[in-house]
């Protein structure tokens, strides 16, 4: 058995360290037709100011480790010793380092376009100015929550739950708040691959998914308590008094918990039959009579749509209950929280 392990290890190592494009390789001579001068072919390095990381090489292995006992330590130990996990990363690998390097390289190009005002093309000026505005942290801090004021004002101006349709139609057209209360979009008809239809899916949660609201273990309880404190702190940043923000956080948690309990579990979502419930507009309206679908679809630019896949009917039945049972002020609180949460990044 040990012979087989060593044999497999030798094969793996030979493949693992097979010659590859590397800064350590020597130039090779290429035979040219008679009458021409031979040309040295040298491996190209990326054009970047970042430190160049060669491909796999012998210093990356840990020769003190027995490959038959710990092949991972043997092959990667040297690299891990030279590349400790950065303080701002949860894990680190050649792939993680490559990702960061690839992000930093275009960042340098964008930064150059933002800082250089002369000699830019019209496209470079647009890209540079946009990037510069996003990276101007002093201006961002000075503005504070001001960019949210128009949307917050729209929420505050709602007089009845019928106004919710117009607001959600506006918000769902953005990439930031597209999952506010529920998700609406388009996808391929599960029963007819020749057409794309409207999809109504579950949404409305602040925590990652249903389980975060339903699990009863100590860790889940701790997460929910910290989430409540987080919601309260965010609402205080919007200007709410601490006592008011604490009560508002509890209202938000109650609404989200009800929506979560009516949502499918991760396992249930793996079965496509659980996610296919085709309805027409009349059926959708009957399921959620408190929501003005005509206005929502009209404002969203899809007023003629009449075929929907409601992936989770129980979720929409619960959404209807929440619209009926919560006051207008409670719904506004819920909407304000999700607006600021989605925009926080």
Give pLDDT tens digits for 48-80.
455 655 555 788 899 999 999 999 999 999 999
* Kind plus residue range of the DSSP H or E element containing 81: helix 71-82
At residue 55, the pLDDT reads: 58
At residue 56, the pLDDT reads: 59
**What is the secondary structure of 194-207 as a DSSP string?**
EEEEEEEEE---SS
Region of 181 on the Ramachandran plot (φ > 0 left; ψ -120 to 50 alpha; else beta): left
Cross-strand bridge partners of residue 30 = 39
For 15-19, the CB contacts below 8 A with 24+ separation are 16/56, 16/75, 17/56, 17/57, 17/58
Out of 169-183, 222-236, 307-321, pick the least confident. 169-183
Which domains does the chain carry?
A: 98-143 (no CATH), 146-343 (1.10.1380.10)
Give pLDDT tens digits for 157-205.
999 888 999 999 999 988 777 789 999 999 999 999 999 999 999 999 9
* Kind plus residue range of the DSSP H or E element containing 282: helix 281-287
> Would you give the DSSP letter of residue 265?
P
Q: What angle do CA 140, 141, 143 make, to 5 degrees?
A: 65
pTM tops 0.75: no
Residue 13 has pLDDT above 80, yes or no: no
Average pLDDT over every residue of 325-340: 96
Calpha distance 193→61 (Å, rounded): 50
């Amino acid at each position: 058995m040990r012979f087989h392990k060593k044999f497999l290890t030798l094969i793996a190592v030979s493949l693992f360290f097979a010659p590859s494009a590397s800064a350590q390789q020597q130039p090779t001579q290429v035979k040219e037709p008679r009458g021409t001068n031979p040309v040295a072919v040298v491996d190209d390095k990326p054009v970047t100011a970042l430190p160049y990381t060669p491909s796999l090489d012998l210093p990356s292995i840990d020769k003190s480790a027995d490959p038959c006992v710990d092949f991972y330590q043997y092959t990667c130990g040297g690299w891990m010793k030279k590349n400790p996990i950065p303080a701002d990363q949860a894990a680190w690998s050649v792939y993680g380092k490559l990702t960061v390097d690839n992000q930093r390289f275009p960042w340098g190009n964008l930064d150059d376009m933002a800082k250089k005002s002369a000699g830019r093309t019209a496209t470079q000026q647009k890209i540079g100015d946009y990037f510069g505005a996003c990276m101007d942290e002093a201006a961002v801090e000075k503005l504070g929550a001001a960019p949210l004021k128009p949307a917050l004002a729209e929420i505050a101006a709602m007089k009845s739950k019928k106004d919710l349709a117009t607001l959600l139609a506006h918000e769902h057209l953005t990439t930031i708040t597209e999952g506010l209360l529920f998700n609406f979009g388009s996808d391929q008809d599960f029963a007819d691959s020749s057409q794309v239809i409207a999809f109504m899916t579950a949404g409305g949660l602040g925590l990652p998914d249903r389980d975060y609201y339903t699990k009863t273990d100590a860790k889940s309880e701790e997460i929910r308590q910290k989430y409540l404190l987080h919601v309260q702190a965010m609402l205080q940043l919007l200007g709410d008094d601490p006592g008011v923000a604490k009560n508002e956080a509890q209202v938000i948690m109650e609404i989200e918990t009800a929506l979560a309990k009516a949502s499918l579990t991760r396992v249930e979502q793996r079965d496509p039959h659980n996610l296919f419930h085709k309805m027409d507009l009349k059926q959708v309206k009957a399921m959620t009579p408190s929501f003005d679908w005509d206005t929502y679809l009209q404002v969203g630019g899809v007023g003629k749509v009449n075929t929907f896949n409601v992936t989770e009917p129980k979720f929409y039945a619960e959404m209807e209950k929440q619209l009926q049972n919560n006051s207008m002020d409670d719904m506004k609180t819920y909407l304000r929280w999700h607006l600021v949460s989605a925009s926080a990044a």
